[in-house]
Structure formats: structure tokens, C-alpha cells
Structure 1
Amino acid sequence: MNDTIASLMAHRSVRAFRDTPVTEEQLQTIVAAGQMASTSSNVQAYSVIAVTEPSLKRQLAVLSGDQAYVEQCPLFLVWCADFYRTCRASEMYLGEETTYEDSTESFMVATIDAALAAQNAAVAAESMGLGICYIGGIRNRIAEVAELLRIPELAYPVFGMCVGVPARQSGQRPRLPVEAVLHRNGYDPETSVEAVKGYDVKMVRYLRERTEGRKSTPWSKIMAEWLARPNRLHVRAFLEARGLLRR
């Protein structure tokens, strides 16, 4: 165990923040740390929008499903997969060449790049004593978010991230055991699924304690409900209209 691993193992989502602003120096450092994440072929196909304007955060909170902490946090980062910059910067060299920014592979490259950069940024923020919370809810009304933030074609908002000084210590949600996700020299289906049984017991105990007995649902049942829910099916049409994910 070292300081880096200890920080990673202490991660928890923060949903209550003090009024303390995130300084410009902290913001610059967080984004610069994000930029040092690995990126496919050095494409760096992502951008991040720092939102501090109260009225914008208020609108984003509503668009994200009335998540109050989006408005409350001092800094809200919107991480975007972005091929707009790549394509515009390359125009003078392309001529009549056929390009493939609309391919599934390009979509994956940009989305993965954004996620890798964001996680680097999250670790950097936590190392400064700040807390973060990822907000996938910005995809609930993704077209309205894109319009509000003036996100151009060939780019889309992947997720948001609340950043700020935690107002209180948050509980840490248990993760699947290592044996459920770690396979050696090939995928082991039986071990992976078998390990969920113990995790279900742990999650029931965690939820009972967290909710004072109001909830006690096993993880596997929560996942069954998640899989059976038609979640954000509008996103594909939005992406295609932006010039992404067409082939």
C-alpha cells in the first residue's frame, strides 16, 4: 500500500459540497492531469466544459433528473467525446479523402478517451482534498444539454462530474470481489458468476445500514431491474444526428 493506492481505495461519490470555490489553479491542474491519461493514437478526442455559472448549473441539474448537487457543487465538469476539433484541425490536409469519424470505432475511441481523462482528473481532484460525483444523468435530455452548452456536431456530452470540497464524509459502496472480475489466462464464467452470491449478501447488509432498513435488495436483483429498463434509448438517434455512430 502506498499513498496513491490508499487514495484510490478511499474513493467514494460525494453529493454534498461546501460553498468553497474550486480555484482556477485547481481547475487547470485537474484538467492537465486528465490530459496525461492514455489516449488512442494520441487522438485526444475529448473536451471538457467547466460550468460555474449558477444559472447554467441550475438548468443542468434539472436536465440531469433534478439532481440538486449538480447545482450545489462549485464546479461542474461536462466531459465530451469530441471529433469536431480533430476534423476541423485536419481539414487542410484531407483534401478529397474519405474520413471515418462517424464509425463505431471512432465513437469508441472518443468515448474511451473522455472516460480515461475524466478518471485521471477525478484522482487528481481527490488528491487535493476535493470530492467528485459522476453524473450520467446529463444523457437523460442529452440534446438539450448539448444545445445549452453549445456543443458542436461530431461531439457529445458523455457524463458530468460534480467537483468540490465535501460537506460531509460519504459512505463507501462495496464493490464486487476481485475474484468476480479477475480472470487468469482466459475467462472463467463459473467463478465470475459464483462470486456474486457473496456480494449479494454484502450489498443487502450495506443497503440495510445505509437506509436504516428501508432497502435490502441484492445486487443481482438490482441488475435484473436495470437490464429490464429501456434506459435512454433516444441517445443513439441523437448521436447519429450529430454525425457519430453511423457505421
Structure 2
Amino acid sequence: MTQTVPTPAHLVRQRYRDPQPTEPAQWNEVLRVLHEHRSVRRYLADPVSDDTLRLLISAAQSAPTSSNLQVWSVVAVRDPRRKARLAALAGDQAHILQAPVLLVWTADFARLRQLADDHDAPLEGADYLESSYVGFIDAALAAQNAVVAAESLGLGTVYLGALRNHPENVAAELNLPAQVFAVFGLLVGHPDPAEDARVKPRLPQGAVLHHETYDLAVQRAHVAEYETRIAEFYAEQQLAHSWTERVLNRLGSVASLNGRHRLRASLENHGFRLK
């Protein structure tokens, strides 16, 4: 049976559920991979080889990094028992156990601290909130490069913010030294085709793209339009909530943060001074 190759216009429409898609002015394979991104939460047992992992990390290291500081590291977890313990800390998500590898991306100042100690040099600038931001941003940029690389190879991925639910326990499990903080996890594996993971539509560009100055007032109409479009997706996934309900439930109370309201204290406990 011949599989139909989706057109660029179809892929853009899929990302927005736009009833009147237009043909993109330009297109290439990278754009196709980006537009086909979807979160995968069911995986086959097939392993991800060391060669593939090295390729994903070299793609990650090809990402921009502020002042070439490279203040991130990643821990690859394959051991089923360790994954099970991390899954328990991250809300018992079953796909953590299924995926062959869990990549834990960290903001890492221990390497630079060690360098400063070796040279008997100060590192006062690392103690400020700005530097912590750099670590988190560098880790995110690197991880997203790895996502694109993995999906270009036919692998599936999903991020795990829930590793921040119990950061001290995650640090102990991974033997993270002071000034190394687990920012998020990323599962990588071969998607189970039975899951039929779909591309989740995003807000219309009119809600996120501003020209010259920011305009909040115009966003209401675009958000209302989005509610209609994403309702189709939620119905296909047999989910009852609207996007607005999901947003308000997710951020409506401290309890909904699942322990992540302690992030500042957790960072300080792990050597991030946040001046």
C-alpha cells in the first residue's frame, strides 16, 4: 500500500487546524521534521544504540550556548530500576518505563566551579540569577536540538517537566553534585504505532506574533478561535477539557504545581545562590 506523503500546506494546516491552509513560500526537510513534531507516550522495546545517542548529543552540542560557557550536561539513564525510581518521582508516568532511554538535562556549574578552583580564581558571577537563567536556557536549547535530530531519524520524544517535582531526590538518584540541577527529562525511543500520536494544534500566529510593539487586546479573538480548533483535537483524543480549562487547572493553585513551587529553595539547596 502506497503511503501518501503530506504536502507542506497539509503540515502547516495540521499545526494550526487552519481550515484554509496556504502553500508555504519555502520548504525543506528540516521544516517538515519541525512541523511533524508530536509528543510520544508509548514506545516499542527496541533499544536506542550508543551510536545514535552520540549523534543526538553532538546535535545538542551544536546548539547556541551563551558566551560558549556550555553550562549544561546530560545524564543518559537506561537501567530499568533507575528509570522506575525516577518514574516514581515524576508521577508514575508509564512511558518512562517503556522508553529505552531517559535523558536528564541539567544546568551544570560544577564543571566551571571546578575549573575556577583549579586556577584559584573567583567565580562570583555564577552566583547570580542571570547565570542560573543561562544554565536553564542552554539546557533547553541543547535538548531541543536533540529532539529535532531524534525525530529526523524516525524516533519519538517527549519532555518530562515532572522531574522537578522532587529535585533533591532526583539529584540523589543521579549523584548530581552541588551546582548541577536537573532541569527536565527527555524520553527517546521508537514510537509504538498503535498509539497514533497526533500533532497538537497551536495558537494562531495572531496570538503570539506581534509587530513592533506588544498588543494584548487583539489576542482574545485568536484565543477564542483556537478553542474551536483544539476542541477537535481533544475530541479525537477523548479528552473533555477545553484549552482554557486546562490552563486554569494547571496554574490555578499552588497544589497544581506538584511540588515545583519549591524550585527556588531546591536550587538554593543545591548550591545555586540566586543573588
Q: TM-score, normalised by structure 1?
A: 0.94
Report if the CA contact (8 A) 2:113-2:123 is conserved: no
The residue correspondences of 1:82-161 to structure 2 (distance < 5 A) are 82-95=108-121, 97=122, 99-161=124-186
* Distance in 2 of aligned mates of 1:243 and 1:77: 22
1:179 to 206, 224, 227: 206
The letter of the residue matching 1:199 is Y
Report if the CA contact (8 A) 2:163-2:185 is conserved: yes
Q: Shift in Å at residue 240 of structure 1?
A: 0.8
* Backbone CA RMSD of aligned residues: 1.3
The residue correspondences of 1:180-199 to structure 2 (distance < 5 A) are 180-199=207-226
Q: Secondary structure at the match of 1:101?
A: helix
The residue correspondences of 1:199-214 to structure 2 (distance < 5 A) are 199-211=226-238
The letter of the residue matching 2:109 is F
Q: Shift in Å at residue 22 of structure 1?
A: 0.4
- In structure 1, runs of 5+ residues without a counterpart are none
1:80 to 106, 117, 130: 106
1:227 to 234, 246, 251: 251
Summarize the Cα distance change of 1:193–1:39 in structure 2 as closer, same or farther, 3 Å threshold.
farther
Report if the CA contact (8 A) 2:110-2:180 is conserved: yes
The letter of the residue matching 1:170 is A
Q: TM-score, normalised by structure 2?
A: 0.85
Q: Secondary structure at the match of 2:172?
A: helix
Number of aligned residues: 243
* Distance in 2 of aligned mates of 1:54 and 1:84: 27
Moved >3 Å (runs of 4+): 92-95
The letter of the residue matching 1:246 is L
* Distance in 2 of aligned mates of 1:209 and 1:63: 30
* Distance in 1 of aligned mates of 2:62 and 2:170: 27
Q: Which moves more between the two structures, 223-232 or 28-37?
A: 223-232
Q: Shift in Å at residue 115 of structure 1?
A: 0.2
* Distance in 1 of aligned mates of 2:226 and 2:243: 7
1:236 to 237, 240, 264: 264
- In structure 2, runs of 5+ residues without a counterpart are 1-26
The letter of the residue matching 1:12 is R
1:218 to 232, 242, 247: 242
Q: Secondary structure at the match of 1:81?
A: strand
* Distance in 2 of aligned mates of 1:106 and 1:57: 30
The letter of the residue matching 1:218 is S
Report if the CA contact (8 A) 1:138-1:145 is conserved: yes
Q: Shift in Å at residue 245 of structure 1?
A: 4.5
Q: Shift in Å at residue 90 of structure 1?
A: 2.5
Q: Shift in Å at residue 228 of structure 1?
A: 1.2
